[in-house]
Amino acid sequence: MEEKSFNMPLLGDSFPEMTVTTTHGEKTLPGDYKGKWFVLFSHPADFTPVCTTEFVGFQNRVNEFDKLGVELVGMSVDQVFSHIKWVEWIKEKLNVEITFPVVAANDTIANKLGLLHPGKGTNTVRAVFIVDPAGKVRLTLYYPQEIGRNMDEIVRAVKALQISDNNGVAMPANWPENDLIKDKVIVPPAKTQADAAVRLEKYDGYDWWFCYKDL
């Protein structure tokens, strides 16, 4: 029996180029978002309870994403007609207007992103791709169909990536509410013995390899 290939972009890879049909018309990914951060998230199916809560959750945080200069893009293998009707239903029944585009993917597109997991049926899994202005995949998340995502974590992750890029620092667990260093950021470890010897004179820290500072 011929094995089916399973592909997914790895961290640091270029987001796969594709032309897609969306509720906002045809788009090219990642080309149409060149110079911008974007978050593409897939959902298993339209007109399902968990996915509906997720779409409302993302929409309710659009202003937060806007402040970060981040565009949202939804995706599933449902047809665009289904997407349009579902978005209309959300506005009519829940009084929430979905303002971001929703991609109508086919199996070829879904397989480029590793969204069709053989053990989870024919619907796309709940995936999240955070893509930077250079079109590079910086973070991926995969959730099963039965668990909805935490939108606040996705906002936090984008913010953390941007701060890390702009300041050359790392972010501790649960930043900005870390158990040890609160909202401070981690300074990269010393790379020479000379630097290590004076590191604690320059920064607060537990040791030369674990120093931190305010933003």
Structure letter (DSSP) for residue 46: S
Work out the average pLDDT over 165-173: 97
Q: What is the pLDDT of residue 2?
A: 39
| Catalytic residue positions, numbered | 51
Mean pLDDT in residue range 2-21: 79
DSSP character string of 121-167: -SSPPEEEEEE-TTSBEEEEEEE-TTS---HHHHHHHHHHHHHHHHH
Tokens 């961290």 belong to which residue? 11
What's the mean per-residue pLDDT of the chain? Answer: 91
Domains in the chain: ranges and CATH: 18-149 (3.40.30.10), 168-215 (3.30.1020.10)
The pLDDT of residue 178 = 97
Q: What confidence tier does 1 reach under pLDDT thresholds 50, 70, 90?
A: very low
Query: From CA 141, how far away is CA 120, in angstroms rounded?
Result: 16
> What pLDDT, on the 0 to 100 scale, is given for residue 3?
42
Q: Contact 143/150 with Cβ under 8 angstroms?
A: no
Q: Which residues contact 152 (CB under 8 A, 6 or more apart)?
A: 61
